[in-house]
Amino acid sequence: MAEPLLRVDGLTARYGQLQAVRGVSFEVDAGAALAVIGENGAGKTTLFHSICGLHGAASGAVVFDGEPLRGVPAHAIVRRGIALVPEGRRIFPSLSVDENLRVAEDQHARDRRGSARPRRWTRDRVYELFPDLRAAARRGGHQISGGQQQMLAIGRALLSEPRLLVLDEVSLGLSPAVVKILYQALTAIRAEGMTLVFVEQDVRKSMAFSDHLVCLHKGTVRLAGRSQAQSLDEVRRAYFG
Amino acid sequence: MQLFETLFNGFLLGGLYGVIGLGLSITFGTMRVVQLAHGDLIVLAAYFLVTVLVPTGIPVLLAAAMVVPALFAVGWGLQRFVIQPSLGRGVLPPLIVTFGISTVLQNVLLLQATADARTLHSSLASAGVHIGGITVAAVRLVDFAVALLCLGLLLLLLGRTALGRALRATSDDPDTARLMGINPRRMYAAAAAIAAATGGVAGVLLAATSTFYPATGSEMLLIAFEVVVVGGLGSLTGTFLGGILLAMSQLLGARLFGPSYALVTGHLVVLVVLVFRPEGLLPRTAP
């Protein structure tokens, strides 16, 4: 049996004084999409930050493509192929839209100097994926709408050429029209074989878009399995504890 | 005409003041650290030029050019090995550490070079240039040109290069910068090195323009503080404009009320600007 691309095993992590993640385990195969759901404070963001190296995990293991990631700093984890689209988008406000993209592109270009492998993602491809961004390319990162910021955050993450894209709150606070554009883009990205782990408040959308789901409640896994095998009621019960 | 001459001289001196503040602006803008030893790094550069390089017989221009990379290395080393360990533990530890560096530098200079006044002896220092009926010191024209060049290069570096974008991204949000693959520690070391290199430029200009002592660093730090605050924290162009405003105020005060009023006039103008524009002349536009 093939090794999963990402394996999280008994992960425990704190958020300040709070034990936010308690012994969480799951696996994600290459090319699959995993939805992580749970109410506010369930530990989703702390879990993502621990995977991506922004928070140190207290115990447990995160293994990506067969290599353990615990203790590896965030900037090195990106180079190994995991990119996070953070909650709140976290656009660099003093950089223009184009510069926000170039920051990720610059770093990746520096890391792969001498590599003959062609780039899969360029700024032009990001602009093709999100034409709204091309029109706003010269505007400041803090001057664009929330939807454009989310497109920019996704585009920026793609420019680090990840094999695993982690998205924290895909559609929070965005209009249905923008959410539709975002999921169309994510569908196109998936079709190219990208592995996704994402948080989505809309449970129906989470189930429809993912292969597997994990429902967290107070830092522990309350429900896990194939998305299509779960009923909406079961998921809702797990969601609200 | 005399008043115009005073204001024009102040304008030119503002270039030197601006370059004195640039380093402080860079370290604060990138790391949110007030580098209390910045003035002493400027004086260290001046001493390095006047007491180490020039006596060996190296041509002055070449010696001056050597000061900048030397200070770049000093800034990088101080950040990497002395200041970096104090970051992320609140506001106070880096302040104490940089204050410590300042004290050590002043005392090392005092021990090694004595408290005697020094300057860079050159024909430039006494030369004057007549422009449209007014006379200005040639060295001030050079100061201003070099300072303007320094500002231009820094703006190009920050605005047009990958390093500049990474520095600005780190300044905005170090955690998100890490998610882009940027190592904030390397960026902080680069920022400190660039800041110290601008201190090197300021040191060379200081040595060419006036006399200095081991304790001159405190005066340099005060100038740097004022021009950075009045210019707008983290804004290089604002810092440069702040330098011009401060220098013009000082020389105007000296002209109108007597030389002993130069400093107090400068402080008063800074105070007035901050009352009406607490964010400074050109604050960074992003939130």
Residue tagged 């904030």 (tokens): B184
Task: Assess whether pLDDT exceeds 70 at residue A126.
Answer: yes
| Structural element, H or E, at residue B247 | helix B236-257
Listed residue (B232, B256, B233, B231) closest to B245, CA to CA:
B231
- 3-class DSSP string for chain A: CCCCCEEEEEEEEEECCEEEEEEEEEEECCCCEEEEECCCCCCHHHHHHHHHCCCCCCEEEEEECCEECCCCCHHHHHHHCEEEECCCCCCCCCCEHHHHHHHHHHHHHHHCCCCCCCCCCCHHHHHHHCHHHHHCCCCECCCCCHHHHHHHHHHHHHCCCCCEEEECCCCCCCCHHHHHHHHHHHHHHHHCCCEEEEECCCHHHHHHHCCEEEEEECCEEEEEEEHHHCCHHHHHHHHHC
Domain that holds residue B105: 2-114+131-276
Tell me the pLDDT tens digit for each residue of A63-104: 999 999 988 999 999 999 999 999 999 999 999 999 999 999
Residue, of A187 and A233, whose pLDDT is higher: A187
CA–CA gap between residue B46 and residue B60 (Å, rounded): 12
Instruction: Find out whether B9 and B174 touch, Cβ atoms under 8 Å.
Output: no
Q: Let me know how many helices (H) and strands (E) chain B has, helices first.
A: 12, 2
CA distance A105 to chain B (A): 9
B284 shares contact with chain A (CB less than 8 Å): yes
Cβ of B178 within 8 Å of Cβ of A75? The answer is yes
Give chain A's contact residues with B (Cβ, < 8 Å).
52-54, 73-75, 78-79, 83-84, 86, 90, 92-95, 99-100, 102-104, 106-111, 140-142, 156-157, 160
Does B279 reach chain A within 8 Å, measured CB to CB? no
Record the tokens describing residue A76, joined without a space. Answer: 């090195």
Chain B partners of A110 at a C-beta cutoff of 8 Å?
162
Tell me what pLDDT residue A45 has: 93
Q: Please compute the mean of the pLDDT values over residues A175-201 and round it to a whole number.
A: 94
**Chain B residues close to A160, C-beta within 8 Å:** 180-181
The whole-number pLDDT of residue B284 equals 67
* Yes or no, beta carbons of A92 and B181 under 8 Å apart: no
Query: B184-209 and B162-172 helices cross at what angle (nearest 10)?
Result: 110
**Neighbouring C-beta atoms of residue B2, cutoff 10 Å:** 8
- Which token pair is B141? 């024209």
Q: Which long-range contacts (CB under 8 A, 24 or more apart) does B258-266 make?
A: B266/B226
How many angstroms separate the CA atoms of A88 and A150, rounded?
8
pLDDT in tens, B111-121: 999 999 999 98
CATH number of the domain enclosing B135 = 1.10.3470
| Cβ neighbours of B262 (radius 10 Å) | 19
Q: Rounded to the nearest 5 degrees, what angle is found at the Cα of B193, between the Cα atoms of B192 and B198?
A: 95
Q: Å from B20 to nearest chain A CA?
A: 24
Q: Is the separation of the CB atoms in B31 and B191 below 8 Å? A: yes
* B235 part of contact set with chain A, CB < 8 Å: no
Tell me how far apart the 2 most distant CA atoms of chain B are, in Å: 59
Question: Which pLDDT does position A237 carry in this prediction?
Answer: 81
B177 touches chain A (CB under 8 A): yes
Nearest-CA distance from A86 to chain B in Å?
8
Residue B219 lies in a domain: yes
Chain B residues near residue A103 by CB distance under 8 angstroms? 165-166, 169, 177, 180, 182
DSSP state of B281: S
Q: Name which of A54, A142, A157 is nearest B178 (Cβ-Cβ).
A: A54
- Please give the C-alpha separations between residue B179 and each of A49, A101, A104, B45, B165, in angstroms, as whole numbers: 10, 13, 9, 37, 14
pLDDT in tens, B261-286: 999 999 999 999 999 998 888 876 54
Residue B283 belongs to some domain of the structure? no
Asked if residue B106 is part of any domain, the answer here is yes
Residue of B nearest to A106 (CA): B162
The answer to whether the Cβ–Cβ distance between A86 and B176 falls below 8 Å is yes
Considering only CB atoms, which chain A residues are within 8 Å of B180?
A: 75, 78, 103-104, 107, 156, 160
pLDDT, tens digit, 9 for 90 and up, residues A38-66: 988 889 999 999 999 998 877 899 999 99
Which of A171, A192, A152 minimizes the C-alpha distance to A87? A171
Of A83, A94, A142, the CB nearest to B168: A94
Residue B287: predicted pLDDT = 38
Q: A83–B179: do the CB atoms touch at under 8 Å?
A: yes
Q: Packing angle between helix B2-31 and helix B216-231, nearest 10 degrees? A: 90
Q: Which residues does residue B278 pair with via DSSP β-bridges, in sequence order?
A: none
Q: What is the enclosing helix (H) or strand (E) of B105? A: helix B92-113
Is the residue at B281 inside a domain?
Answer: no
- Domains: count for chain B: 1
Give the Cα separation of B85 and B89 in Å (integer).
Answer: 9
pLDDT of residue A114: 66
Give backbone dihedrals phi and psi of B176, rounded to 5 degrees, phi first: -70, -30
| Per-residue pLDDT band at A116 (split at 50, 70, 90) | low
The length of chain A in residues reads 241
Q: Which residues pair with A12 in a beta bridge?
A: A59
Q: Give Cα A122 to chain centroid, integer Å.
A: 19
Q: How far is the C-alpha of A52 from the C-alpha of B162, rounded, in Å?
A: 23
Q: What is the pLDDT of residue A3?
A: 87
Mark yes or no for CB contact B286/A107 under 8 Å.
no
Cross-chain Cβ contact A74/B178 below 8 Å: yes
In-domain check, residue B121: no
For residue B132, what pLDDT is reported? 81
pLDDT of residue A1: 61
In a domain, B222, yes or no: yes
Q: For residues A47-73, b (16+ Cβ closer than 10 Å) or e, as one string?
A: bbbbbbbbbebeebebbbbeeebeebe
Instruction: Decide if B27 contacts B209 (C-beta within 8 A).
Output: no
Residues of A in contact with B175 (CB under 8 A): 54, 74, 90
**Cβ within 8 Å, pair B175-A160:** no
Hey, is B136 helix, strand or coil?
strand
Contact partners, residue A53, CB within 8 Å, separation at least 6: A69, A72, A73, A74, A75, A76, A77, B178
pLDDT at A28 over 60: yes
Tens of pLDDT along chain B (287 residues)? 788 889 999 999 999 999 999 999 999 989 989 999 999 999 999 999 999 999 999 999 999 999 999 999 999 999 999 999 999 888 899 999 999 999 999 999 999 999 999 999 888 777 888 888 888 889 999 999 999 999 999 999 999 999 999 999 999 999 999 999 999 999 999 999 999 999 999 999 999 999 999 999 999 999 999 999 999 887 899 999 999 999 999 999 999 999 999 999 999 999 999 999 988 888 765 43
CA distance A136 to A123: 13
Residue of A nearest to B162 (CA): A106
Q: Please give the residue of chain B at the shortest CA–CA distance from A99.
A: B165
Per the CB < 8 Å rule, is B176 touching A74?
Answer: no
The answer as to whether B99 is a domain residue is yes
Whether residue B262 is contained in a domain is answered as yes
Q: Name the residue of chain A whose CA is nearest to B183's CA.
A: A75
